[in-house]
A and B are shown apart, each in its own frame.
Chain A
Amino acid sequence: MNWSWMLPESFSTFGGEVDAIYYVILWVTGIVFVITEGLLVYFVVRYRHKEGRKATFDHGSTRVEVAWTLAPLFIVIGLGVASKGVWDRMKRDVPDGALEMIVTAQQFEWHATYAGADGVLGTDDDFTLVNELHAPEDRPVLVYLRSNDVLHSFFLPEMRVKQDAVPGQEIRAWFEAVQPGDYTLGCAELCGTGHTTMNGTLTVHTQADYDTWVAGQVAQQQ
């Protein structure tokens, strides 16, 4: 059983940034945890009732209140500010030159539509696969996320990607994989009785292998 608070390895460009913030929070909350719980245990032992013990008649201290209001405030605002940049990069700023694809979620599978050899979506050489995502390494992939029925959530854990798919909307999600391999595609929003079966794979190829794969797919379509 894995009791570690280390994250499984990430394989995307912004994955490292996400994990870094996580570890900062882990340190901060870890230190606070140890201090507060430690004090709690110490106080319970040190000040437990014994014959003759008398409690101190102390109502509080405004200075102390101010101190432990401001300190947490600075810490959490700092965490917020640190998080903002990564968030903007993940959700708002798609890099140029992204490879575009459409992913349509439905009960209970993922339909991935690729641009085909011409690299343009919406043309005759587009092709669609079920539960299979393919992408080249070291190139941003921009997913146009749709849903045909209910809410689903497009979850690529190793890429640190999660985006709800909303029927009636097209939402953009992007990532750039840094290493070839097979990764997990899952659904992270309860979508009905088959929610548990909505898993697929993300295969990251080298750029050359990806081109070969696309050519092969296009040939199969004909």
Chain B
Amino acid sequence: MSTTQHDMVNRAEAGGHHDHHEPPFIRKYIFSTDHKTIAKQFMFVSLFFLVVGGLLATLMRWQLGFPSQPMPGGGVFPDAMMAPTPGGAIMLPEFYNSLVTMHGTIMIFFAIMPLLVGLFGNLLIPLQIGAPDMAFPRLNMASFWLAVPAGILMLASFAVEGGAAGAGWTSYAPLSASGEYTGVYLGQQLWLVSLAVLGFSSLAGAVNYISTVINMRAPGMTWFRIPLATWALFITAVLVLLAMPILAGALIMLLFDQTIGTAFFLPEFDGEPLLWQHLFWFFGHPEVYILILPAMGIASEVISNRARKPIFGYHSMVLAIIAIAFLGWIVWGHHMFQSGMNPMLGTSFMISTMAIAVPSAIKTFNWLATLWKGDLHLDSPMLYAIAFVSLFIIGGLSGVYMASTPVDVYIHDTYFIVAHIHYVLFGGSLFAIFAGITFWYPKMFGRLMNERLNKIHFLLTFVFYNLVFWPMHNLGLQGMMRRIYDFTQYEYLQPLQPMNRFITICVFILVASQSLYAISFFWSLFKGEKATNNPWNSNGLEWTVPSPPPHGNFAEMPVVYRGPYEYSSPESDTDFLPQTTPPRDRPAPAPVPTPQGA
């Protein structure tokens, strides 16, 4: 049997059922196996958690801006979280520690990761490689429906006695291993179970993405013609596949310590607290690359398209993604420089950590070079993408300080680290998510987003984002620690009160500004300008099909002739040249219909 026939047969496998009756509402929107629907499901649920995470941070910032002062309206919170007092209620340290923990946990696991991996992985991979769906559509559905109970468990932990987990998103033992240290019992256990369930969801997704990219590319879609978004998502899926099981093992051991009385991490029985840190960060460092690589892929797509120019150094960009992913496995100790780990180990981790700055730098230079001599259309996706580059530069450069072990002695566990984290995760990942949602919105919903609202959102977010997080570098350099309920207890930190208050007020405005994007999003669903197949004049395969694409995506098997970044090519009459347009000197082959049955 010929390769094309094998190809067709594998693609038929994944196309799902092809009876031409419209499926009932439940099969179409709730228990769907269509990757595009699953992508939207991940998107809506994750955006909800993004809002929750933002509100948790806002509460935290109240305490930091107005330490131990009554919060107006705080009386709505249970007494275990905030103590009622004239004028409102004062936050309790237990609740503050839970806020810190849950803000980080929810943002990382239930907002950023599912947005990048669940939304964009599902939406883009089959479309960009020319496949009718994922390799395992029902497994894909399971992946989403495992994430939902995980999220419910995580939220429910706020309501149990003792409150939600309060040992930080890093959950260091022994603090997290026994409720007697925090007063949190069930909440900490629910945190562990929730993440374990989410791990299965992520794993299912990873198996699907990897298999799909390897096996289901359309004819002509060689590895080095795959768009950078899919490359990034593919490599990210490999990281998820290999890193999540390590976390699973660690979560299980910690859960056993908490519930059945083992002592993996409890020193009174010779358990090793540092073992938790090694396991967690062996997972945790690849995890942060899971949180940034897809964002980099998205940025590459948007920048190249809106600059009407090929991405500069496509091969280097791919190699840099692979290098980041590979090196990401040997740097985990840089989270543990001050942990009591052998100093010689610290030195080796410092060297590998310094080295990993290089591929990120390469990518940054390539984005800059793509903009150079381009024809830059500064609409909202491009603005978000350019902001991504600008803020990622800051986040990356701040990392150099903590990579140097002696400097890290001073800035570890201070707000300098908090600044770094948020420059790469918010300034980086979240801005790229805004860019990606805006750019692929027409493909998802058949309409364009409201440009004016987006631009105002962009401006407000960019300004207030920097006003919030830039000064955190300064707070850290002045010695302000992380996860600190009331820094005014320290005399040397009292002069930092005005800056903390300033940050808090800017946070209120920043959070409020996000409503503009929400309004733009929902308004555009009904009133947005209707989109053609290819409103951005882009080259990728996803833009050759209707907006939104039908079930099965491609009515005819796409054939790929070139890479995805042939913008402003002399071979084209316009400033773009889609991957599937036959070259002038070669006639198109007879179209092969996508098989509807074996």
Q: Which residue of B lies closest to A15 (CB)?
A: B410
Q: Which residue of A lies closest to B379 (CB)?
A: A49
A162 within 8 A of B: yes
A158 to B485, CA, bound (A): 22
Do A58 and B376 form a contact, CB below 8 Å, given A72-B361, A197-B489?
Answer: no
Where chain B touches its partner, the secondary structure class is: helix
In B476-521, the 8 Å CB interface with A consists of: 477-479, 481-487, 489-492, 495-496, 498-499, 502
Cβ distance A171 to chain B, nearest Cβ, rounded Å: 5
Cβ distance A213 to chain B, nearest Cβ, rounded Å: 22
A84 to B407, CA, bound (A): 11
The reply to whether B376 and A47 contact each other, CB–CB distance below 8 Å, is yes
Do A57 and B569 form a contact, CB below 8 Å, given A44-B378, A48-B376, A149-B181?
Answer: yes
Among B100, B403, B481, point to the contact of A188 (Cβ < 8 A): B481
The residues of A that contact B100 with a CB separation of less than 8 Å are 190
Cβ distance B452 to chain A, nearest Cβ, rounded Å: 18
B236 within 8 A of A: no
The residues of A that contact B347 with a CB separation of less than 8 Å are 84, 87-88
B39 within 8 A of A: no
The reply to whether B397 and A166 contact each other, CB–CB distance below 8 Å, is no
User: Which of A17-25, A97-105, A115-123, A133-141 is the contact stretch?
Assistant: A17-25
The reply to whether A22 and B407 contact each other, CB–CB distance below 8 Å, is yes
In B264-287, the 8 Å CB interface with A consists of: 267-268, 270-274
The reply to whether A199 and B373 contact each other, CB–CB distance below 8 Å, is no
- Chain B count of residues within 8 A CB distance of the other chain: 105
Q: Which residue of B lies closest to A151 (CB)?
A: B172
A44 to B387, CA, bound (A): 11
The reply to whether A195 and B485 contact each other, CB–CB distance below 8 Å, is yes
A164 within 8 A of B: yes
A171 to B499, CA, bound (A): 35
B351 within 8 A of A: yes
Do A72 and B357 form a contact, CB below 8 Å, given A40-B389, A47-B373, A149-B174?
Answer: yes
The residues of B that contact A84 with a CB separation of less than 8 Å are 347, 350, 405
The reply to whether B362 and A83 contact each other, CB–CB distance below 8 Å, is no
Interface string of A53-92 (1 = CB under 8 A from B): 1111111110011001100110011011001101110111
Cβ distance B183 to chain A, nearest Cβ, rounded Å: 7
The residues of B that contact A188 with a CB separation of less than 8 Å are 412-414, 481-482
The residues of B that contact A86 with a CB separation of less than 8 Å are 406
B313 within 8 A of A: yes
A162 to B97, CA, bound (A): 22
The reply to whether B478 and A2 contact each other, CB–CB distance below 8 Å, is yes
The reply to whether A76 and B355 contact each other, CB–CB distance below 8 Å, is yes
The residues of B that contact A168 with a CB separation of less than 8 Å are 267-268, 270-273
A205 within 8 A of B: no
Do A21 and B313 form a contact, CB below 8 Å, given A37-B393, A60-B369?
Answer: no
B167 within 8 A of A: yes
Cβ distance B330 to chain A, nearest Cβ, rounded Å: 14
Among A47, A60, A151, A195, point to the contact of B312 (Cβ < 8 A): A60
Cβ distance A6 to chain B, nearest Cβ, rounded Å: 8
Among A3, A47, A48, A196, point to the contact of B372 (Cβ < 8 A): A47
B340 within 8 A of A: yes
The reply to whether A17 and B569 contact each other, CB–CB distance below 8 Å, is no
Interface string of A32-44 (1 = CB under 8 A from B): 1100110110011
The reply to whether B474 and A193 contact each other, CB–CB distance below 8 Å, is no
In B218-269, the 8 Å CB interface with A consists of: 267-268
Interface string of A142-180 (1 = CB under 8 A from B): 000000011101010100111110111101000000000
Q: Which residue of A lies closest to B101 (CB)?
A: A190
The residues of B that contact A32 with a CB separation of less than 8 Å are 397
The reply to whether A164 and B373 contact each other, CB–CB distance below 8 Å, is no
A214 within 8 A of B: no
The reply to whether A192 and B404 contact each other, CB–CB distance below 8 Å, is no
Interface centre among B358, B406, B483 (most CB of A within 10 A): B406
The residues of B that contact A69 with a CB separation of less than 8 Å are 358, 362
The reply to whether A49 and B377 contact each other, CB–CB distance below 8 Å, is yes
A191 within 8 A of B: yes
B326 within 8 A of A: no
The reply to whether B400 and A18 contact each other, CB–CB distance below 8 Å, is no
Q: A40-B371, A54-B575 given. 14 additional CB < 8 A pairs? A: A18-B407, A29-B401, A40-B368, A40-B389, A47-B307, A48-B376, A55-B308, A58-B309, A60-B310, A64-B313, A107-B181, A187-B481, A188-B414, A199-B490
Residues of A within 8 A of B (CB): 1-5, 7-8, 14, 17-18, 21-22, 25, 28-29, 32-33, 36-37, 39-40, 43-44, 47-49, 53-61, 64-65, 68-69, 72-73, 76-77, 79-80, 83-84, 86-88, 90-92, 107, 149-151, 153, 155, 157, 160-164, 166-169, 171, 184, 186-197, 199
Q: Which 10 A-B pairs have the closest CB atoms?
A: A168-B267, A60-B313, A76-B354, A55-B309, A91-B343, A157-B479, A55-B375, A56-B373, A196-B485, A188-B413
